[in-house]
Amino acid sequence: MNDQKILSRLLAEAPTNWGRWGADDEVGALNYLTGEEVKAGLGAVRQHRTFTLGVPIATAAGDHVFPGRWPARHYMVADKAGFEAGHWQTMPGGLEFADDYVSGFAQAGTHCDALGHMWFDDKLWNGYPAGSTNGGMTRAGIEPIAARGIVGRAVLLDMARFRGKPTLGRAETFDHRDLIQCARAQGTEIRPRSILMVRTGWIGALRSGAETIGADYWEPGLTFSLDLVRWFDEMEIPCLVTDTLANETTYEPETGTMLVLHAALMRNLGVVFTEMAWLDDLAADCAADRQYEGFFCASPTRVSKGTGGSANPVFIK
Amino acid sequence: MNDQKILSRLLAEAPTNWGRWGADDEVGALNYLTGEEVKAGLGAVRQHRTFTLGVPIATAAGDHVFPGRWPARHYMVADKAGFEAGHWQTMPGGLEFADDYVSGFAQAGTHCDALGHMWFDDKLWNGYPAGSTNGGMTRAGIEPIAARGIVGRAVLLDMARFRGKPTLGRAETFDHRDLIQCARAQGTEIRPRSILMVRTGWIGALRSGAETIGADYWEPGLTFSLDLVRWFDEMEIPCLVTDTLANETTYEPETGTMLVLHAALMRNLGVVFTEMAWLDDLAADCAADRQYEGFFCASPTRVSKGTGGSANPVFIK
Amino acid sequence: MNDQKILSRLLAEAPTNWGRWGADDEVGALNYLTGEEVKAGLGAVRQHRTFTLGVPIATAAGDHVFPGRWPARHYMVADKAGFEAGHWQTMPGGLEFADDYVSGFAQAGTHCDALGHMWFDDKLWNGYPAGSTNGGMTRAGIEPIAARGIVGRAVLLDMARFRGKPTLGRAETFDHRDLIQCARAQGTEIRPRSILMVRTGWIGALRSGAETIGADYWEPGLTFSLDLVRWFDEMEIPCLVTDTLANETTYEPETGTMLVLHAALMRNLGVVFTEMAWLDDLAADCAADRQYEGFFCASPTRVSKGTGGSANPVFIK
Amino acid sequence: MNDQKILSRLLAEAPTNWGRWGADDEVGALNYLTGEEVKAGLGAVRQHRTFTLGVPIATAAGDHVFPGRWPARHYMVADKAGFEAGHWQTMPGGLEFADDYVSGFAQAGTHCDALGHMWFDDKLWNGYPAGSTNGGMTRAGIEPIAARGIVGRAVLLDMARFRGKPTLGRAETFDHRDLIQCARAQGTEIRPRSILMVRTGWIGALRSGAETIGADYWEPGLTFSLDLVRWFDEMEIPCLVTDTLANETTYEPETGTMLVLHAALMRNLGVVFTEMAWLDDLAADCAADRQYEGFFCASPTRVSKGTGGSANPVFIK
C-alpha cells in the first residue's frame, strides 16, 4: 500500500515536542543537553582516549550514498605539478601550496540532519511550513544545531555484537527493547538524555564490499512502534547516532512506509540524527575493555540554509 | 626583494621536527596531545558551557576567502516547491525531504590545514617530496589529522582586547612576547602543549564590512622571528588557532616574504593551523568572567587526499 | 522610483506574441526561422570564411559575469602527474588520459537565454506560470531552443565603429533607429527575420581591463521604447546577439527600471537573446571588407530544465 | 596480455601527421577543412532542414557516462519559489528571474575531444610532452578547436540500418571497408575531407535502457587495423562523429588493448573526435529520403585549458 496519508495516521497518537521549547525553536531535543549533561559527559571519561567517528569523503572509489544522491568529489586546484607547469607562481620568499576543492551533498559522509530535512503533511519540526525549505532552509536548518554543538554523555550499543554477527543483515530490524537488552548485556546504562550510538556494522559491510547499494537497497536498523517513540520521548534522547545511511530500517515491513523514524523522532520529537558514523573501531575497543560510555562531541559544518552538515564526531572514553 | 630562496635562508637556523615522530608521521605536533593533555583539557572545564567556533559557510552574501580562492556555494537540490512541481515524488507513506549540495575549497570557512598544504625547497612536512601533492595529497594530507582529532587544553589570548581595540588593524603584528604579556594581563597560563587561540578581531571586521579583501590585502597577526619559532618549539604548541584567514600576518615587512609561519611552524615544526575561527563571542564571554582556558576539540572533515578540512571547533569552559 | 508594477504599465500597450505559435510553444520568434531563412543564410555566404563567437570560459583570471553570478571554474581530474603519482592506472595497451571538470552557470560565457529566464507579473513567455521555474524549467527552458538550433541570415551592426569609438561607454544607449542608421552607413540591409548581431565593444573593454564589473555596473546597449518593440515585432527579429552580458542597457535612465528588453522582447515577443558574444575580431574583418552579412548558427548546450545554455556561435561570411 | 608497450608496437608502422602543420599546431586534421570544404558543405544542402545532434545533459535520470566519470548535474539557483521565500529581490521595475548552475566533465554529453586528451609513450598529438597536461591543457587543448569550429560537408553512415538492426550489439565491430560498403548501399559518396558521422544506435539503446553501463562495458564501433588508419589518412578525414561514448569499440579483441583509435587517429593523425552524438532522428529521416549528406557545424564550448568541450552539432540537409 502506497498511501501518502499513512504517516499521518500512524503517528496520530504519537507524542510530539512541537512548541515545547518555544515557537522559534530549531534545535529540538538538543535542549535536553544542558550544562549538567555536558558535565555528565566529561565525567564519563576514564581513559582519556579519543576516537573520531567520521568516514572519509570524496574517496577515489566513490562514497557510499543513499539512492538518489551522488558521491562527494575532490578536485585538486593547485599542486606541485601545477607550479611546474606555470599555472601558479611561487609566493614572495619561496612558498608554494597545494589547494583543493570539494563538492558534495551537505549531508556528505558522516553528518547531522537538520530537523527540517524531512516532513509530512506540509509541516516540518515545530510546525514550520514545508514551504520554508524553498530555495534554502529558512527554518530548522543545520545552522542553529551547528552553532550549538552536540555535547554530552553517549553510550555505544553494539547491536551486531549483541546478536553475534559481524554485521546485521539487509532489512534486519530491532527496537528499543533490543537496545535495552543490548545495554544490559554490555553492562551499559542508558540514562535519560544519553546520546545513543547504535552499531549495526552496516557501513563496514558497505566499505568492505560485502553489501552494495542497489535498486532494492534496504538498510537494517530501528523499526517503528508507538512504544519506541514513547520510550525515546520519555528518555529524552537528544541525538541518535548510527552507522547506517539513514539511521533506521528503510521500510516498515507491513506498510511499506519509508523512514518512519525520521517522521516520528526527528520531525515530531526533535531528535537530532547523526548518520553514517564509523563505529567499528570504537566497538572493537569497547568489546575489549567493556567501557561503552564516554564523552561525545559532534559539531557539523555550519552550512548556511543547509539541510545538514558533515561532521566528524569525537568520542572520548 | 622577491627572492625565492629567502625562506631557505631565513629558516636555516630554525628548529624542525622532521623525523621526530618517525619517517611516516603525518600529524606532527599533534603527537604532543597525549591522553595527559586530553585529561588536562577536561580538567580545565569549570562551567560546562559550550562554544562553537565555526563560521557559516556558503552564505548568500559570499564567504570571506583568501585572494585567489572563491566562496563556497550552497545549492538546493530538493525542496517543497520541487515536490509541488513534480521533480520529486513523495515517499511511500507520505514523507518528503529537502536536500542540498555544497561546493567549496576543502579549506572553506573555519578549517584545519594539512601539514603538507604549504612548502618550500620542494619538501613538505617531514621531508616528503612536493610532488606527493600531485593529483591529491599522498602524504601529510588532512586525513590522518581528521582521524586523530585535536583534543586538549586551550587558552584564548585576546590580543585585540589586550591592545584596547575592537580589532587589530591591517598589517598590525605581534609576537610570542606579546602573547605572553597578553596572557599575563588576562591572568591566563600558557602551559607547555597548550592549544593557542589568538584573537585579533579580524574576521569580525570582515563580517561587519569594516575591512574588505582587496588587491592589497594584508592581515594582522603573528610575525616571524627565530625566537618565536624556538618558543613554539620549546612550548611544544600542538595547534595554533586564530580568527584570521591565514593565522599570521600576510607579509614580513622587511623582506616582503609571504606567510613565513606556514613555513616555520607548519612545514618545519608540524604545528597544525586552525584558521578563520570565530572567537568574538567567546572573547566577550571570557572578558566578562576572566576564564580564558578550557577544553578544545576540533575534528576537520575527513577529506580523502585533502589539503585541509572544514571544522567547527568546540570549546568548553 | 522602485515600483514593481512599472513594467506592467510600461508594456501595457506593447505587442506580445503569446499564443501566436500555439499554447505549447517554447521557442518563440525562432519560429520565424523557417527553411527559407536557412536558405537565405546559406545564400549570404560569399567567402566561406568562418568565425566563432564564443568567449573562453573558466579562465584562470576569472570570467566576467553579471553581478550576483560567479565565474565558471575548471578542475583537472586526471593529468600526467596524476598518473605518475599513482592516482590513475595506464589503460591496457598503454594509453593515458587527461580529464577535467567544469562548473558554472548554465549561462556561462557566450550563451542563449531560455525564453522563461525572466518574467514579471508571475507569467513567463506565452503565459506560463512563474511557478513552472521551481526546481527546474518545466516550461520555456533552453531544451527546445537547443533542440531546434538557431540558423539563418545574420547581420553585424557595429555600433561602436559607427560612433567612431573603440567601445561604447558605460550606460551609453541606442535604439532601433540607430541600428537602422548604422546599417545604412555600413551598406548592410536589415531584412525581416534577420538575426541581429550588435557590437558595442563592451566585452573587449572588460577583457582588456578598461572596464570592470563593480557595484555601479551599467552596461551600454539598446534602450527601451514602444517604437523599438514594435520595430522588432514588425521586423520579426528571431534572435538578438550582442557583446554585452545582458544584451541591453542595464537600467532605463528615467525610471530606473532594469532590463526592460528582457521583458518586452524576450518574455513578450519571444525573441531569443544570445549574450556575451565575441564580435571584435569579426567586426575588424567586416570593417575591412565591408561584408557585414552572412550565415549564423548557434546551438546552445542542451541543459535539461535549464534557464540557458553556453554556446559558441558560428558565423560564415 | 596487459602490456603498456602494445600501442607503441602496434602503431610503429602507422602514419602520423606530427609536424605536418607546424610545430605549434593544435587542431590537426581540421586543417583539411579549408574554405573549399566549407563551400562543399554549404553546397550539399538541398532541403534547408536543420538537425541538432546534442543529447540533453544533467538529466534527472543521470547522464550516460563512460566508466570512471560521473553524470553532469543541474542545480537551480533562483526560481519563483526562491523569490517568494525572500532569498531574492524583485528587480527595480518588476522583473524576476530563474538562474541555474551546471557541473560536469568538460566532455559532458555530446562533445569534442581535444587532440591532447589521450596519449601514450609520454607524448601527445604533434609530439607535445604528456606533462603539458598537468594542471590544465597547456598544449593541444580544446580552445584552438573551439576557436576554429568544425565546418564542412558530412555524410551519415548508418551502420545499424546497413546491418538490418536497430542497434549494433555489445562489442560488435566494423572497419573502413564496412563504412565504404555502407556508403555504397546508401548511395552516399565518402569524399576526401568528408566529416564522417557513423551511427551504431548505441546511445539510443542506452537511453531506452536496452543497454546499460556496467563493469563489463564494451561499446560497438570501429576496430583498429593499419589499413583503416591508412584509409583515414589518405582520405584526409578531419573529424569522426559517432553515437557512442568513445567513438570506437572499447577493446581490441585479440590484444585487449583499449581505445586504439584514440591513439592511431586522434593522437597520431590529429582527427578530431566528436562523441556521443544523437543520430537516431537524423538517421530515420535519411532512411526516408535517401539524402545522407549535408552541411555540418560543430563548435564546442571554449573551455580554458580544457580536454574537451560540450557541443550541440548542427547538420543541415
Q: Is the pLDDT of residue B1 over 50?
A: no
The answer to whether A79 faces chain C, any CB pair under 8 Å, is yes
CB contact under 8 A, B302 and A5: no
For residue D32, what pLDDT is reported?
A: 98
Reported as type and span, the H/E element at residue A177 is helix A176-186
Q: Is the pLDDT of residue A190 over 70?
A: yes
Using the beta-carbon criterion (under 8 Å), do D93 and C300 form an inter-chain contact? Answer: no
A214 touches chain D (CB under 8 A): no
Tens-place pLDDT, residues C177-226: 999 999 999 999 999 999 999 999 999 999 999 999 998 999 999 999 99
pLDDT reported for residue C215: 85
C262/chain D closest Cα distance in angstroms: 9
In chain C, what residues touch D137 (CB-CB under 8 Å)? 98, 100
Q: Nearest residue on chain D to C7, judged by CA atoms?
A: D93
Whether the CB of B103 is below 8 Å from some CB of chain C: the reply is yes
Q: Tell me C167's DSSP state.
A: S
Can you say whether the dihedral through the CA atoms of D226, D227, D231, D234 is positive or negative? Answer: positive
Choose among C183, C37, C17, C39: nearest CA to C115: C17
pLDDT digits (tens, 9 = 90+) for C124-136: 999 999 999 999 9
Tell me the C-alpha distance between C73 and C69, whole Å: 12
- B133 to chain C, minimum CA–CA distance in Å? 9
Residues of A in contact with C103 (CB under 8 A): 103
Q: Is any Cβ of chain D less than 8 angstroms from the Cβ of C107?
A: yes
Smallest Cα distance from C100 to chain A, Å: 9
C306 contacts chain B (CB < 8 A): no
Return the residue matching grid coordinates 555504397. Answer: D184
- pLDDT band per the 50, 70, 90 thresholds, residue A2: low
Min CA distance, A115 vs chain B (Å)?
Answer: 11
pLDDT at B2: 52
Inform me whether the C-beta atom of residue B81 falls under 8 Å from chain D C-beta atoms: yes
Interchain CB distance below 8 Å, A81 and D135 = yes
Residue D2 scores a pLDDT above 70? no
Interface contact B81-D79, CB threshold 8 A: yes
pLDDT above 90 covers a percentage of chain D that reads 97
In D, minimum Cα distance to B74 occurs at: D77
Q: What separation in angstroms does the CA of B166 have from each of B54, B56, B283, D183?
A: 20, 21, 11, 80
Residue B270: predicted pLDDT: 98
Mean of pLDDT over chain D:
97
Query: b/e per residue, C182-219, with b = 16+ CB within 10 A?
Result: bbeebebebeebbbbbbbbbbbbbbbeeebeeeeeeeb
**In this complex, do B79 and D77 lie within 8 Å of one another by their Cβ atoms?**
no
Q: What is the 3-state secondary structure (H, E, C) of chain D?
A: CCCCCHHHHHCCCCCCCCCCCCCCCCCHHHHHCCHHHHHHHHHCCCCCCEEECCCCECCCCCCCCCECECCCEEEEEECHHHHHCCCCCCCCCCCEECEEEEEEECCCCCEEECCCCEEECCECHHHCEHHHHCCCCCCCCCHHHHHHCEEEEEEEEEHHHHCCCCCCCCCCEECHHHHHHHHHHHCCCCCCCCEEEEECCHHHHHHHCCCCCCCCCCCCEECCCHHHHHHHHHHCCCEEEECCCCCCCCECCCCCCECHHHHHHHHCCCCEEEECCCCHHHHHHHHHHCCCEEEEEECCCCECCCCEEECCCEEEC
317 residues of chain C, pLDDT tens digit each: 457 789 999 999 999 999 999 999 999 999 999 999 999 999 999 999 999 999 999 999 999 999 999 999 999 999 999 999 999 999 999 999 999 999 999 999 999 999 999 999 999 999 999 999 999 999 999 999 999 999 999 999 999 999 999 999 999 999 999 999 999 999 999 999 999 999 999 999 999 999 999 989 999 999 999 999 999 999 999 999 999 999 999 999 888 999 999 999 999 999 999 999 999 999 999 999 999 999 999 999 999 999 999 999 999 99
| Contact status of C266 with chain D (Cβ, < 8 Å) | no
Chain C residues with CB under 8 Å of A79 CB are: 81
Q: What is the pLDDT of residue A157?
A: 98
Tens of pLDDT along D173-228? 999 999 999 999 999 999 999 999 999 999 999 999 999 999 899 999 999 999 99
Closest D-chain CA to C58: D304
Q: Please state the rounded mean pLDDT for residues D248-272.
A: 95
**B136 and C82 in contact by Cβ < 8 A?**
yes
What is the pLDDT at residue B303? 98
Q: How far is A224 from chain C (nearest CA, A)?
A: 32
The pLDDT score that the predictor gives to residue C5 is 87
Query: What's the rounded mean pLDDT across residues A169-179?
Result: 98
**Cβ-defined contact of A134 to D103 (cutoff 8 Å):** no
B96 touches chain A (CB under 8 A): yes
- Burial of residue B209 (CB within 10 Å: 0-12, 13-18, 19+) is exposed
Question: Which one of B195, B223, B268, B304 would you mutate to disrupt binding with A, by most A Cβ within 10 Å of its Cβ?
Answer: B304
Which residues of A are less than 8 Å from B311 in CB distance? 312
CB-based contact C78:C99 (threshold 8 Å): yes
Interface of C with D in 108-167 (CB under 8 A): 108-109, 116-122, 130-137, 143, 146-149, 151
Of B258, B311, B314, the CB nearest to A95: B258
Model confidence band, residue A1 (pLDDT cutoffs 50, 70, 90): very low
C212 touches chain B (CB under 8 A): no
C59 Cβ under 8 Å from any chain B Cβ: no
Using CA of residue C75, residue D250, residue D5, residue A60, what is the dihedral sign? positive
Strand ranges, E, within chain C: 50-52, 73-78, 96-97, 99-105, 111-113, 118-119, 150-158, 173-174, 195-199, 221-222, 239-242, 272-275, 293-298, 308-310, 314-316
C81 touches chain A (CB under 8 A): yes
Q: Which of B86, B87, B134 sits opposite C81 (nearest CB)?
A: B134
Neighbours of chain C (3+ CB pairs under 8 A): A, B, D
Nearest CA in chain A to D82: A135
A164: left (phi over 0), alpha (psi -120 to 50) or beta: left
Q: Rounded to an integer, what distance in angstroms lies between the CA atom of residue D144 and that of residue C52?
A: 11
Please, which pLDDT band fits residue A215 given cuts at 50, 70 and 90?
confident
CA dihedral sign, ordered C297, C301, C304, C305: negative
